[in-house]
Structure 1
Amino acid sequence: MDAHTRAGGAHELGEPSPIRIHIVSSRSLKANGPRRGEARRRGVSGRRAEGRRELRRTRARCSLGRFDLWSSHGVVVIEVPVHDDVLERKILEPDPGLIKSLGLHHTLRSAVADLVDNSIDAGAGRVLIRFEIEDDVPVGLTVVDNGRGMNGVQADEAMRLGRQRRYATNAQGHFGIGLKAASFGHADTLTVCTSPRRGEYHGRRLRKVDVQRDYSCEVLDPAMISGELADHLALLGAATGTSVRWSDTRFPRATVIGKSDWLDESKTQLRMHLGLVYHRLLTSGRIRMDIEVHDLGLRESGPPEAVMPIDPFGFPVAAVSGYPKTLFATLGKVRLRLECHIVPPKASGPEFRLYGRDGSEYQGFFIYRNDRLLQSGGWNSILTSDGDRALARVVLDDFESLQNFVRMNPEKSGISFTHELEAAIIGATTISGRNGGISFKDYIERAESVLVESRRRVRKRSPVVEPTKGLHEDVRRVIRAEVPIRRDEDPVEIRWRRMPSDKFLELEREARVIYLNQRYRAMLTGGRTGLSDAPLLKTLVYLLTQNHFTGQYWGSKHRDLLDMWDVILGAAVRTEYAYRNDEANP
């Protein structure tokens, strides 16, 4: 052992001065030395109680697995069990090249959620997620929270790869690699700045190339980071907290139009994902999250968009009387609760169409850990996904009872069940451990029958022309989910352009464009303009006019309707304009 290890061992065991540590195998003791019982007979003190409290720490530091520890006259003996066929024990350091594959399975939304987990574990009540752009190109991402912050030692440990610590029962962290895996999955440089109290700042930076070479970490000058971190924390009204920044990212390097599409889609997907994963925490007010875009060149940020909760069980009415029902699965002494829901067949909101997709894709188990959603749908080999089971959703939120029967991947996006758990769920009933009651099979069959009955009464909606650029992706996603899209017609766009003041809209059938009067844009958007601005106004205009883009030509009826809309809407927008001017100049 080196001097540092000896001194550390002495400090941890409470010795007033460094002591020597000998590591021996149980086989060598048998051949060459006395057993501990003989040592005691010769007056050797075992002092096991004194050293036991550091046993786990010493084991982790020495990487020796199971061993016994005893001491005599300032010498600590670590006795390592060795099998008869073992010549020696080697410590094989991992190849730094493994960093290349770290985080490869993280999507952007799962990676950001991992950073948010750290913020929640640090006691944060607010989290700001900031996309950073430069020359209209996305180049970075920063997550800021108002949690407890970290001191220097804690900051070092946070940057350590595979750091294992004793997690609190209510912690979101689990594996000790979340920060690094999430970050290196999307960026080559990770910078963490933190403040545990006003006036104290710590900064650490990991560069992927350095970590691949020698696991080295840069310690940043507090004077150089204090200003920016203080500004970030001020946005949250906080004096303590942490910022995590990704730079040298692998975000798409595209044209301005491509950037807008990727950035808009990424923000939308992230907002929906965080709203779903943390819906319980958001609804209860335990956490607030906002997403914004910051222009590094202009040093300005756009308006923050709040993450709203999306409850996959937040339906206003129950589909079937008596549901949801609680079933119980028994695994030995463990009694596991299954909260079985049947979704209303006509449900069509975001709580059913998760991520804007068909709600039938999210049938199955919804698994929670400390009120964080780990799995949204899927039958985990117990059943197969089937269109007839689209209304069946089951809550499993007693993760403490569940954890010995599941395996979770590091991205917290996949859970597998043991065979024992699968069998227990299949045998679950409303009356635990007895015959009778409603079984899991009964529940599935009831959910299927509700959907079949509803299909007999459903009326199909008429298809519409697909909207594209100009209408916000959130709205387009709902339109696609709610209404069939015409495949025999090209999509339409919505744009602004200059027109006479007495006009409000123009339709160009051949170009497939709905034009709105640029003159009134600032008034109708509040001055916040963008490709997808004025979503309510544009949606209303789209619904009003989309049918005019079907067929081969406009007849007299179509033209008369257009003329009528133009006159009435033109009068309405001029009146609105005058009304607002009167308010501004009383």
Structure 2
Amino acid sequence: MQEYEDAPPPADALAESLRGFGYSAETAIADIIDNSITAKARNVFVNVELAAGTPFISILDDGEGMSEKTLREAMKLGSQSPLIPRAEADLGRFGLGLKTASFSQARSLTVASKRKGGEVAIRRWDLDYLADSKGEWRLLTSAPEDAGPHIERLEKQESGTLVLWNKLDRVRPRHSAAVGGAKSHLLMEQLEQHLSMVFHRYLEGGQPKLKLHVNAARIRPWDPFLSSHPACRPSPEETVGTANARIRVKGFVLPNKDMIEDEKAWNQAGGSEGWVTSQGFYIYRNDRLLVAGGWLGLGRPRPWVRDETHKLARIRVDLPNSEDAAWQIDVKKSDASPPENLRARLTDLALAIRGEARSVFVHRGEYGKSPKVANLARPWKSVRIGGQSAYRIDTIHPVASYILSSLDDDDRSIAAFFKLLENTVPVEKIWIDTVEQGELPATPFSGETREQIRALARDLLASLMRGRGLSEDEARAQLRRMAPFDQHSEIIDEI
């Protein structure tokens, strides 16, 4: 028999250490709402008051509630082993979220809960009280003196749970020099954005699974995939993994800026972190968003980074909660890493979505207006010279071919000018304007009047008929296969 001695951690020391998990106010509140969803709540009311004499944050739901015995167990740290199988709809795992999320923001955590037909049960952790408790785990059985109005709201409900944070020593208001209620403006904005993203699948539809209110304002869902937009390009859903762990994966190529006319709508679709940061994988467990964007360390031949040209690529991954360990889901539910046996397949799927997203980005203006044209003729082509990308005029382009073939043998001025153009393409300038300054080059024919576009089409049509001996119908058909006239077929009909 092994000899041993009991070595429990001092309550005050461990509780203070658990404050360093790295939650923000919005991620901590989302973790509390997970418990409400698991308790089958239909409504959750979040109240944030930082300007009052006694600041507080409260989260009240109308879920099933807990008995006194269940509440006592729930308030223990590590209340349930993460190795125990969870119910399919359970959003928890470690038995730590309620405590670590709360301690990360406040020194006092009160939980009051009521079962249908039962009385309100109350338990409270107070870190200042623990500091004077000689290392003992003293769980208080009463609410703080100023909690009366919050408890009364719960008592009026048939059932539900109240989580109350006091002594908010780590809530960062994130405000300007403004005074009064405006102090928490930025915090409230970030909180609403985060909750609308994390729980968007619960908030969607005419009869949503959950109604979420922050300071009486109802939170509306934010769909990362713009799936209802007509120019969104979804891929077929694919199932990967083993029979016991089926993972659903679906890619989306979002519309480019010229497909979203409203500037505000474009900015909202980019998410709170912006378009570049929001690209990549979106990992869900039981419809709850865990990871928003990023490429999960995947890539070929090296891990991908978030860049401008792939900002329209987003990929949805749905996990069952039995896969937490395989995907290395952390306590905060904010990080994940795909298992080795899925990395190659996920990389292949992402390659396809990234490739399509890059095409939409590079050739914006050609998607959603007219059907794609096969074998589209472009005057420029990309080539590799000495292992680097370069850009050359495509001499087999119908117009370029006509110009070069019509030159006198002694007059090589046009050919020389073509060479000059090819070797002075301002690649660096285009890249800086696009990536560093966030600008997008003007779409084809930007700033041109309809009459100017018609005149150019008329000249090119004449060149095709004269230089290549095409009939008028043949020349019109070929002009429709030239960029960017493939998007202006109606103008060709007007000539």
Which range, TM-score by smaller chain?
A: 0.5 to 0.7
Residue 283 of structure 1 is matched in structure 2 by 204
Residue 311 of structure 1 is matched in structure 2 by 223
Counterparts of 2:142 and 2:244, CA distance in 1: 52
* Residue 222 of structure 1, CA deviation: 12
* Residue 233 of structure 1, CA deviation: 5.3
Counterparts of 1:390 and 1:149, CA distance in 2: 43
Counterparts of 1:102 and 1:111, CA distance in 2: 13
TM-score normalised to the size of structure 2? 0.63
* Residue 98 of structure 1, CA deviation: 2.4
**Matched ranges for 1:198-217 at <5 A:** 198=117, 200-211=119-130, 213-217=135-139
Counterparts of 1:420 and 1:118, CA distance in 2: 31
Residue 351 of structure 2 is matched in structure 1 by 441
* Residue 427 of structure 1, CA deviation: 4.1
CA distance 1:163–1:314, change in 2 (3 Å): same
Is 1:345 the counterpart of 2:256 in the alignment? yes
Counterparts of 2:360 and 2:51, CA distance in 1: 52
Residue 179 of structure 1 is matched in structure 2 by 98
* Residue 456 of structure 1, CA deviation: 9.4
| Aligned residue among 38, 42, 46 for 1:129 | 46
**Matched ranges for 1:27-66 at <5 A:** none
Residue 88 of structure 1 is matched in structure 2 by 3
Counterpart secondary structure, 1:424: helix
| Aligned residue among 376, 379, 388 for 2:309 | 388
Is 1:326 the counterpart of 2:237 in the alignment? yes
CA distance 1:419–1:101, change in 2 (3 Å): same
Is 1:406 the counterpart of 2:318 in the alignment? no
Residue 492 of structure 1 is matched in structure 2 by none
- Residues 130-165 of structure 1 show CA distances to partners (whole Å, capped at 9, x for unaligned) of 112455x67111111111111111111111111116
Contact 2:123–2:139 (CA under 8 A) maintained in structure 1: yes
Counterparts of 2:125 and 2:322, CA distance in 1: 37
Contact 1:334–1:401 (CA under 8 A) maintained in structure 2: yes
Is 1:425 the counterpart of 2:318 in the alignment? no
Is 1:229 the counterpart of 2:151 in the alignment? yes
Counterparts of 1:444 and 1:265, CA distance in 2: 33
Counterpart secondary structure, 1:380: coil
Counterparts of 1:152 and 1:308, CA distance in 2: 34
Contact 1:315–1:351 (CA under 8 A) maintained in structure 2: no
Residue 367 of structure 1 is matched in structure 2 by 283
Counterparts of 2:154 and 2:243, CA distance in 1: 51
Counterparts of 2:115 and 2:191, CA distance in 1: 28
Residue 450 of structure 1 is matched in structure 2 by 360
CA distance 1:276–1:333, change in 2 (3 Å): closer
| Aligned residue among 131, 137, 142 for 1:220 | 142
* Residue 261 of structure 1, CA deviation: 4.3
Contact 2:88–2:320 (CA under 8 A) maintained in structure 1: no
Q: Show structure 1 runs of 5+ residues with no match.
A: 1-24, 26-86, 293-303, 429-439, 458-483, 486-586
- Residues 300-338 of structure 1 show CA distances to partners (whole Å, capped at 9, x for unaligned) of xxxx211111111234435476x3233454569755432
Contact 1:196–1:241 (CA under 8 A) maintained in structure 2: yes
CA distance 1:263–1:120, change in 2 (3 Å): same
Q: Which amino acid aligns with 1:409?
A: D
Equivalent residue pairs, number: 347
Counterparts of 1:247 and 1:215, CA distance in 2: 19
**Matched ranges for 1:153-302 at <5 A:** 153-164=69-80, 166=84, 167-198=86-117, 200-211=119-130, 213-220=135-142, 228-232=150-154, 234=156, 238-250=157-169, 251=171, 257-258=178-179, 260-284=181-205, 285-292=208-215
Counterpart secondary structure, 1:115: helix
Q: Which amino acid aligns with 1:379?
A: W
Counterparts of 2:322 and 2:345, CA distance in 1: 13
Contact 2:10–2:136 (CA under 8 A) maintained in structure 1: no
Residue 527 of structure 1 is matched in structure 2 by none
CA distance 1:227–1:332, change in 2 (3 Å): closer
* Residue 405 of structure 1, CA deviation: 2.8
Q: What is the aligned-residue RMSD (CA, Å)? A: 3.2
- Residues 369-422 of structure 1 show CA distances to partners (whole Å, capped at 9, x for unaligned) of 111111111101003212111011001013357545311111111112233332
Q: Which amino acid aligns with 1:132?
A: E
- Residues 420-471 of structure 1 show CA distances to partners (whole Å, capped at 9, x for unaligned) of 332231245xxxxxxxxxxx423321211111111899xxxxxxxxxxxxxx
* Residue 90 of structure 1, CA deviation: 3.5
* Residue 99 of structure 1, CA deviation: 1.7
Q: Show structure 2 runs of 5+ residues with no match.
A: 299-303, 368-436, 439-495
Contact 1:114–1:182 (CA under 8 A) maintained in structure 2: yes
Q: Which amino acid aligns with 2:6?
A: I
| Aligned residue among 23, 26, 42 for 1:106 | 23
Counterpart secondary structure, 2:306: coil
Counterpart secondary structure, 2:37: helix
Counterpart secondary structure, 1:101: helix
Contact 2:114–2:154 (CA under 8 A) maintained in structure 1: no
Contact 2:293–2:314 (CA under 8 A) maintained in structure 1: yes
Contact 2:114–2:161 (CA under 8 A) maintained in structure 1: yes
Residue 10 of structure 1 is matched in structure 2 by none
CA distance 1:124–1:350, change in 2 (3 Å): farther
* Residue 260 of structure 1, CA deviation: 4.0
Counterparts of 1:316 and 1:225, CA distance in 2: 44
Counterparts of 2:321 and 2:294, CA distance in 1: 21
Contact 2:45–2:212 (CA under 8 A) maintained in structure 1: yes
Contact 2:77–2:96 (CA under 8 A) maintained in structure 1: yes
Residue 150 of structure 1 is matched in structure 2 by 66
Is 1:416 the counterpart of 2:315 in the alignment? no
CA distance 1:443–1:131, change in 2 (3 Å): closer
The one of the two structures with greater contact order (alpha-carbon pairs below 8 A, sep at least 6) is 2
Contact 2:120–2:155 (CA under 8 A) maintained in structure 1: no
**Matched ranges for 1:564-575 at <5 A:** none
Contact 2:110–2:124 (CA under 8 A) maintained in structure 1: yes
Counterparts of 1:320 and 1:133, CA distance in 2: 40
Greater share of strand residues, 1 or 2?
Answer: 1
